[in-house]
Structure 1
C-alpha cells in the first residue's frame, strides 16, 4: 500500500483543498479502512460556507475545526485491524463496514445510560481533528467507534446512505407513530425521503409528503407516501384539514431546516399532536409559542443523529425496498469535491451526491 493518499482538507470557510497526505496508521483496537464512498450532507455544506452555528460565535462553539478531513456518511473496506478490534466489532480484513458518525467517550452520564448519541465530550468524523472524515482514500475507525457490517452487494453510494437513513429512522422513532396516525413529512430530500420510508414502515393511516419539487414528490411516493402535496401550488393546510375532519395531522416530521417549515408544522398539527424537528437551521426561527402551549398542548421533540437505528437502516437498504438508484443521483471522483458541494448547494439538481475516492 502507498504511504500517501489524496484527501480533501478543510482550511476554513470556502477553503477546501485536495492534498496529498500520509495514509493514517491505526492504533491498538482501531481499523484502517479503504473508503469506497462518502456522501455530502447539508451540514457539510453549512460548514463549508462558514455558517455561524458551525464555525462558532460568541454564543456557540464551532462544530468544525480547521485542518480536518470532512465527511461523516461513508462506507469502506477494512484493510488492517488487530485482534482486539476484530473481536470487539465482530469484523475482519475484507469486510465492508460503516461507522456511526459520532465517536462516544463511553464514560459520561449519557453514554452510561445508553444515550451515546448525546455524549458530552464526543468526537465526530469530519468535524474534529482527532477523528478525520471520509473525503479521503483511507480513514481510521477509532476503538471507541460503533461499527456495523453492510452487504457487499449494495453499490457503494447506496451503502453510504446508511448514515442519513439512520437519522431519518431515529426521527420516526421519536414520533411514536401509531396505526391511526396521519403523518406529514416536510421536505423530500435525503432525510425527508428516509422519514417517509420509516413512517410507512410503521403502517399509519396516511403518510403525506410536502415539497416544492415535483420530481422529489414522485420519489416520495416510491418511498411510501400515499399523498403528496406541492406546497408551491397547493394549500397543504386545507388538504390536511379536509382529510382529518378539520382536526389536523397527528405527527409532523420536519426535515428541511427551512424557517417557514416550523410554523407550517405547528399549524398543520391537531391538538395534542407531535412535532419532531430534525432539520439543521442556518438562522434563528421565531414562532408563536402559544400554539404549542395554550392553543394545542403539543409534544415538541428534537431528533439528533441515528442512535440504535443503524441495523434497521442497513436492513432497509439491503431489502431493496427503496429506489436508491433515484435517490443517489450523483457519484463523483474525489477530485470533483467542489462540484459535489455546488450540486448540494443548488438544491435542485440532485438528491444525494457522493464522492468515490478510489
Structure 2
C-alpha cells in the first residue's frame, strides 16, 4: 500500500546534472518514482561542501594527479547534505524508518549495501561498495526538487521548526561529531581544533559538550574565530598573527595539547598539529586535502608515540547532531551564511570555492 501527499506530484522537476568536470547544468528531468520500501522526498535545502566542489572540478584537476579517477559519474544529480518532506512511501518504508507522509527527514550520506564485510560487522560507514548520494547514478543526490530515499538508507525525522538550511546542516555536523568521538576527549584535556569552517565549528561545538579543560580554536579569520567562541571555544588563536604552537605549549606548562582535531584541509595544519601535541597525544584527521602532505613521521613514533586517527562520515552521530540543532545552542543563522535558489547553483559553487565570504552555502529548490 502506498501513501501520497495531498498535493499532486509533478511529472518533471528541476535538477542540477553533472556532465563532467566544470560542466553542471540545470535541467528539467522526470520526477523519480520510488520502488518497494523506498520514499519520495521533496527537497527543501541542500548544502554544498568541499567534496561537492572537488567533484565539480574533477578529481584529477583537484588533486593535480591525472591518474586519479573522477569521483562522480556523469548524468548524476549531486548533493549529499539535504533535508526534505516525505511525499510518498509504502507501509514497508514507514515501518522501517518510523516515518510517514508529511514528516521532515534527513538521510545519512552513505547508502550501505548491508551485505559486505564492513556492513555485516556494523561498520556500515566503511561499506565496501561505498554508494553515496550524489556521486553515482544509482543514488541521485539532493540538488533537485525531489529525490528518492532507497530501502537501504538510514533515515531520521527532524523538527519542522528549523529553517531548511539549518536542518540540512545535520550532515556536516554529524561528521564533526564523529571526529570528536574518535578523539576520546576527557574532562582534563586541552583540545585544539584547526579550522573554523562548517566541520571545524561542529568539532568545537561537539568538543565543548564533552566539557574538557580547554577548547582552543585556530583560524586565520577573526570573524570565524568570533563565531568559534559562540560555538563553545574557550580560547582562539589567529594563526596568521600568532604562533599557535608556542601559545599552546605555554598554556600547558610546556607539554602541549592532549587532542588535536584537523579540519582545515591545508597541509601546514598537519605539521602544526603534530608539533603542538604533547607526548601520547591524540590527533584526529578529518579533512580532504588538495595535495600530498609530507611530515616528519618520527614525531608520531620515536618522539611522541601519538595516536593518529582518521574520521570519515558521521556514523551513529546523526541523532546527536539533530538534538544539538534542535536545542538552539548553535548560532545557525551565522553558520548557514548563504542560501541560493537552485537556479543559482553556479553562484553557490563559486562562493564555496572562494572560501572567504561564507561558512555554509546551501541551495533551496524553488
Could you say whether these structures have the same fold, taking a TM-score greater than 0.5 normalized by the shorter chain as the test? yes
Question: What is the rounded CA distance, in whole Å, between the counterparts of 2:294 and 2:63 in structure 1?
Answer: 22
Question: What is the rounded CA distance, in whole Å, between the counterparts of 1:306 and 1:291 in structure 2?
Answer: 29
Question: What is the rounded CA distance, in whole Å, between the counterparts of 2:196 and 2:89 in structure 1?
Answer: 39
Offset, 1:113: 1.1
Question: What is the rounded CA distance, in whole Å, between the counterparts of 1:267 and 1:122 in structure 2?
Answer: 34
Question: What is the rounded CA distance, in whole Å, between the counterparts of 2:233 and 2:120 in structure 1?
Answer: 38
Match of 1:286 in 2: 294
Could you tell me which of 311, 319, 322 is aligned with 1:314? 322
Offset, 1:136: 0.2
Could you tell me which of 105, 108, 111 is aligned with 1:97? 105
Match of 1:268 in 2: 276
Matched, 1:171 2:213: no
Alpha-carbon contact 1:170-1:306 (below 8 Å) kept: yes
How big is each residue's C-alpha offset from its partner over 1:242-293, in whole Å with a ceiling of 9 and x where there is no partner?
1000000000000111111100100010000000000001111010100000
How big is each residue's C-alpha offset from its partner over 1:8-64, in whole Å with a ceiling of 9 and x where there is no partner?
001111110000000000000000000000000011111111132879967654321
Could you tell me which of 161, 185, 194 is aligned with 2:202? 194
Could you tell me which of 25, 30, 52 is aligned with 2:33? 25
Secondary structure of 2:337 counterpart: strand
Offset, 1:230: 0.3
Secondary structure of 2:186 counterpart: coil
Offset, 1:124: 0.4
Alpha-carbon contact 1:186-1:261 (below 8 Å) kept: yes
Alpha-carbon contact 1:54-1:62 (below 8 Å) kept: no
Large movers: runs of 4+ above 6 Å: 53-58
Structure 1 residues without counterparts, runs of 5 or longer:
none
Could you tell me which of 214, 222, 229 is aligned with 1:206? 214
Question: What is the rounded CA distance, in whole Å, between the counterparts of 2:328 and 2:137 in structure 1?
Answer: 36
Matched, 1:226 2:253: no
Could you tell me which of 255, 258, 261 is aligned with 1:250? 258
Offset, 1:122: 2.5
Match of 1:350 in 2: 358
Matched, 1:76 2:84: yes
Question: What is the rounded CA distance, in whole Å, between the counterparts of 1:55 and 1:191 in structure 2?
Answer: 21
Alpha-carbon contact 1:55-1:62 (below 8 Å) kept: no
Could you tell me which of 9, 16, 19 is aligned with 1:8? 16
Structure 2 residues without counterparts, runs of 5 or longer:
1-8
Question: What is the rounded CA distance, in whole Å, between the counterparts of 1:324 and 1:223 in structure 2?
Answer: 10
Question: What is the rounded CA distance, in whole Å, between the counterparts of 1:204 and 1:98 in structure 2?
Answer: 30
Question: What is the rounded CA distance, in whole Å, between the counterparts of 2:50 and 2:151 in structure 1?
Answer: 27
Match of 1:86 in 2: 94
Alignment of 1:108-147 (within 5 A): 108-147=116-155
Alpha-carbon contact 1:54-1:64 (below 8 Å) kept: no
Matched, 1:238 2:228: no
Alpha-carbon contact 1:175-1:251 (below 8 Å) kept: yes
Task: Give the aligned CA root-mean-square deviation in angstroms.
Answer: 1.3
Alpha-carbon contact 2:58-2:70 (below 8 Å) kept: no
Secondary structure of 2:85 counterpart: strand
Match of 2:5 in 1: none
How big is each residue's C-alpha offset from its partner over 1:299-350, in whole Å with a ceiling of 9 and x where there is no partner?
0000000000000000000000000001001111000000000110111100
Question: What is the rounded CA distance, in whole Å, between the counterparts of 2:129 and 2:109 in structure 1?
Answer: 14
Could you tell me which of 55, 67, 80 is aligned with 2:75? 67
Could you tell me which of 336, 341, 345 is aligned with 2:344? 336
How big is each residue's C-alpha offset from its partner over 1:47-92, in whole Å with a ceiling of 9 and x where there is no partner?
1111328799676543211110010000000000001000100000
Q: Matched residue pairs, number?
A: 358
